[in-house]
Structure 1
Amino acid sequence: MAIDPVYTAKATATGGRDGAAKTADGSLDVKLGVPKEMGGDGKGNNPEQLFAAGYAACYLGAMKFAQSKDKSLAEIPADASVEAHVGIGPRSDTGFGLKVDLVVSMPGLDKAEVEKITEAGHKICPYSNAINGNVDVTTTVA
């Protein structure tokens, strides 16, 4: 499926998991470090943290977009949040894989309403679409 990008992010990483990454415009410049659980010192951010932050923000935005286009969905409260848990580990065949757990909180809405919104959000979110069929994603309503 072809897309016509309206925005393209540009970032460069050096040194791998124990290096640095920065965006071309300089707005993000992070030291990368291997988590203690993977044998590192835990200093610096890691790709899974960056992916979790990006996915959580994008998915919440996608749910808001879905609600703005489909007025049958309940209005999303201002204090809504998405917590993304991104795990990494060895795959059974070879290499490494990811597992994502999204926890959605929309205070004041009942669970059934939130579940409808989460389903609509997954259809729109580019992160959800990019990893669909490749990464195990669970969505829980808090």
Structure 2
Amino acid sequence: MTIKEIQNEIVEEFSMFDDWDERFQYVIDLGKSLPLIDEKYKTEENLIRGCQSKVWLHAEKKDDKILFTADSDGYISKGVISILIRVFSNQSTVDILEGNTDFINEIQLQQFLSPNRANGLSMMVKQIKLYALALQAKN
């Protein structure tokens, strides 16, 4: 699936909920289903700076795609990173770098987050893009 197709799926899923309590619970549930990062990648180097909770993000290139794994010590942060990984993992570096995050506004995720968590969301997106740029440069 393309990044846009995945984003459209997420927008459709969030549109099923009538209020933010339901959306909030859905974000937490998404985080619970996140495949965990290997413990050896829970290092300072893989910590995303600027997040309220600790969020670890690891990227590796397989064939022409980047695979992301992550974990967090906070339920909300874990749910947010799981959404981003769903969108950007298993995509090419070019697609990741060109991909937008307009869907975040469509599902009103930033409105739901505290300013610190919204900053963390921005830092997560930035780190995903930086990994893609770094892995692209290695080729």
Verify same fold: TM over 0.5.
no
More helix by proportion, 1 or 2?
2
Q: What TM-score, normalized to structure 2?
A: 0.29
Bigger RCO of structures 1 and 2 (CA < 8 A, at least 6 apart):
2
